[in-house]
Amino acid sequence: MTILEAKNITYKYGVGTPFQITALDDISFTVEKGDMLAIIGHTGSGKSTLIQHFNALLKPASGQILLYGKDINESRDSARYARFKIGLCFQYPEYQLFESTVYKDISFGPMNMGLDKNEIDKRVRTAAEFVGLTDAMLQKSPFDLSGGEKRRAAIAGVMAMEPEILIMDEPAAGLDPRGRRKILELIKAYREKTGRTVIIVSHSMEDVASVAEKILVLNHGKAAMYGTVDEVFSRAEELREMGLNIPQITKIFSELNKYGFNLSKSTYTVKQAEKELLEYFHKGAPGV
Amino acid sequence: MIKDITIGQYFPGNSFIHKLDPRAKLIITFAALVEIFICKNFFSLGVVLVFSVASILISRISFKIVMKGLKVIYFIIVLTSLLQIFYNDDGTLLFEWWKLKVTTGGVFTAVFMAVRIFCLILVSSLLTYTTSPTTLTDGLERLLSPLKALKIPVDVLAMMMTIALRFIPTLIEEIDKIMNAQKARGADLESGNLTKRAKALIPIFIPLFVNSFRRAYELAFAMECRCYSGSGKRTRMKVMKMTWRDIVSFVFMAVMLTGIILLNHFFGAVI
Ligand SMILES: Nc1ncnc2c1ncn2[C@@H]1O[C@H](COP(=O)(O)OP(=O)(O)OP(=O)(O)O)[C@@H](O)[C@H]1O
Ligand SMILES: [Mg+2]
């Protein structure tokens, strides 16, 4: 079932000034319920601009965003409805924390939804558990947490609204490798457990490969490719021209294939590669 | 939106006015303001009006943008002129309504004031349109450097001003970002009574202050790491130099000043 549809979205910044730029240019695509979609593109390609359209923070200059077939910009109510159905977690969300305790901060979203106390408490605790924040941490000031913990607290704040679509802008940016891995695993687990639709924005092909099923590639504000991970990564040459790269391990495998090995082309993570290679040697590969 | 206000913004360019030395530009702007103030009749006012509009044209900044930036000021212009119409009772009576009398004198002063404010705004906003904030404070520092003799720390004050100006756009961008982030969490910033709206600002301003302090610390550390100390004698990467452009402008301003004084003298005062 189609949950979200973008129809010919165009958006310009600084209209009528010398700095006018077309950030989005006629973008159309659909998201199915339960999809795990990644939006990738070089810096300034319009990723953040695009996702801000999905909960009516930005209004397209032309085109429509349809949530369950209804235009979200139709009225103020429809925009507010979209804000509760679509949870948007911004780039560096830790800079939006403001409450005296982490608990209160996470409950800010659910409170705005007008839920009752018990429901809020339930949601805050579920979300906190999900991102791995302990009860002790919930009572701390958000400003006393480490960078990675702050990030997780901010994500929990969006998750606690239980949106049908969770959108995250660069959720792993600026974290150390372990922090990155943790966030990505958490997103994967969230998706598996709830079955909800998730959209992530990322620069890193490795990250995308490890979580996403579908990919939308933006290039200078245009939708350059849209398809499954296999379909998109098989067009490595085009990706390179857009300033993007396929995962390193995929590159290594395709190089190996050039030397007569017969390895799978759709290997995107080191884990997959390990499995692949072990099987390959067990079978007694012809090339070795 | 906040972003529509263009007064104080800098539009990079390559025009004659952009290329003027910042010190010269400050002096010329000051001179222009004085000249606008001493105008006494429509002839001299006409001269400064032509001068103001011509300066905008020379700077090659689109007139549309300048007018858009003036939007906020229209209200003030209209209000002052209206007050003038009713306040001034000179000249022949045009019409009378209740206790309000509109006379030719009143209309003249109203138009006069409107044009004068318009010119003042054009000239002063042109200064920031064509000079980057850092250059501007640099120029100001140099102009005020004689005050160092009086133990006024001009260079430290100038550095503070540079930093403050530098961070205005950053702060505006940041407010925008935080507002979006909180809206995405369902914060309702647009409806409700006054107390509710004031309360809705808390989630915006706390992160803003926290981030500003963090940034200030980082900047201070970075400056200390590069051995900045307020008192040290610093040299400049870009040494300011007056050129023929500045001389020409000074001469022009002097000629215009003489012209305005003569026009004031020969055609009598309206105001
Ligand atoms: N508030 C703004 N005002 C003016 N231009 C903007 C604004 N925000 C973004 N832009 C411009 O729009 C274009 C798209 O920006 P956007 O932030 O969507 O890129 P992005 O793909 O998210 O980049 P990144 O990977 O660096 O986050 C860029 O060229 C950017 O300069
Ligand atoms: Mg971005």
Give the model confidence (pLDDT) of A45-57 as tens digits: 999 999 999 988 9
**A125 and A184 inside one domain:** yes
Span from the CA of A44 to the centroid of ligand 1 (angstroms): 5
Indicate if the pLDDT at residue B57 is higher than 50: yes
CA distances in angstroms from A165 to A34, A128, A200, A256, A284, listed in the order given: 9, 18, 11, 39, 46
* Kind and range of the H or E run holding A282: helix A270-282
Which one is predicted more confidently, B98 or A249? A249
The ligand 1 site (C-beta within 6 Å) comprises A 13-14, 21, 23, 41, 43-49, 203
Whether residue B180 and residue A90 make contact (CB cut-off 8 A), yes or no, is yes
In a shared domain, residues A197 and A285: no
- For residues A268 and A162, state if they share a domain: no
Residues with Cβ within 8 Å of A93's Cβ and at least 6 positions away in sequence, in order, are A151, A154, A155, A157, A158, B181
Nearest to B207 among A57, A95, A113 (CB): A95
Residues A190 and A49 in one domain: yes
**Atom number in ligand 1 closest to CA A50:** 18
Q: What is the pLDDT of residue B266?
A: 86
A58/A201 same-domain check:
yes
Give the residue-averaged pLDDT of B12-27: 91
Residues A228 and A253 grouped into a single domain: no
Q: Looking at residues B163-181, what average pLDDT do you find?
A: 86
Q: Which of A57, A87, A158 sits opposite B183 (nearest CB)?
A: A57
Cα distances from B149 to residues A225, B144, B153, in angstroms, run: 66, 10, 9
- Per-residue pLDDT at B35: 93
pLDDT tens for B220-247 read: 999 989 888 776 677 777 778 888 999 9
pLDDT at B86: 77
Q: How far is the C-alpha of B171 from the C-alpha of B178, rounded, in Å? A: 10
CB contact under 8 A, B187 and A158: no
* Tokens 């102009």 belong to residue: B143
Residue A87: per-residue pLDDT: 92
Q: Does B226 touch chain A (CB under 8 A)?
A: no
Domain hosting residue A29, numbered range:
2-244
Whose C-alpha lies nearest to ligand 1, atom 25? A43
| Residues from chain A contacting residue B6 (CB–CB below 8 Å) | 17
Per-residue model confidence as pLDDT tens digits over A205-263: 888 888 899 999 999 999 999 999 888 888 888 888 888 888 888 888 888 888 888 88
Q: Is the pLDDT of residue B259 over 90?
A: yes
Mean pLDDT, residues A182-204 taken together: 91
Provide the ipTM: 0.83
Best probe of the A interface among B2, B179, B185, B217, by most A CBs < 10 A, is: B185
Domain identity same for A254 and A238: no
| Region of poorest pLDDT, from A39-43, A64-68, A207-211 | A207-211
The mean predicted confidence, pLDDT, of chain A is 89
Domain check: are A229 and A251 in the same one? no
Are A98 and B177 within 8 A, CB to CB? no
Task: List the single best residue of A98, A123, A145, A201 to mutate versus B (max B Cβ within 10 A).
Answer: A98
Cα(A278)–Cα(A50) distance, rounded to whole angstroms?
42
| Single-letter amino acid, residue B91 | G
With helix as H, strand as E and coil as C, how does B49-61 read?
HHHHHHHHHHHCC
* A179, A264: one domain: no
Report the candidate in A6, A50, A31 with the shortest Cα–Cα distance to residue A219: A50
Torsion of CA B209, B214, B216, B219, to 10 degrees: -160
Q: Does A227 share its domain with A112?
A: yes
Q: What's the B140 CA to ligand 2 centre distance in angstroms?
A: 37
Average pLDDT over residues A96-112: 93
Residue given tokens 């042109």 in the structure block: B126
* Residue B72 pLDDT: 73
* pLDDT confidence of residue B271: 65
The count of domains in chain A is 2
Based on the domain organization, do A174 and A269 belong to the same domain?
A: no
For residues A163-176, average pLDDT:
90
Indicate if A194 and A288 belong to the same structural domain. Answer: no
Whole-number Å distance, alpha carbon A182 to ligand 1 midpoint, is 27
pLDDT band at B1 (very low <50, low <70, confident <90, very high): very low
Q: What CATH number is attached to the domain comprising A166?
A: 3.40.50.300
Task: Report the pLDDT value the prediction gives residue B7, as an integer from 0 to 100.
Answer: 59
The percent of residues above 90 in pLDDT, for chain A, comes to 55
| Residue range B28-44, pLDDT digits in tens | 999 999 999 998 888 89
Distances (CA, A) of B165 to A245, B1, B72, B106, B198: 39, 20, 21, 41, 27
State the DSSP code for A247.
Answer: -
Q: For B120-147, what is the mean pLDDT?
A: 87
Section B68-84 average pLDDT: 81
For residue B228, what pLDDT is reported?
Answer: 83
Distance B180 CA to ligand 1 centre (A): 14
Using DSSP, state whether A29 is helix, strand or coil. strand
**pLDDT grade, residue B13 (50/70/90)?**
confident
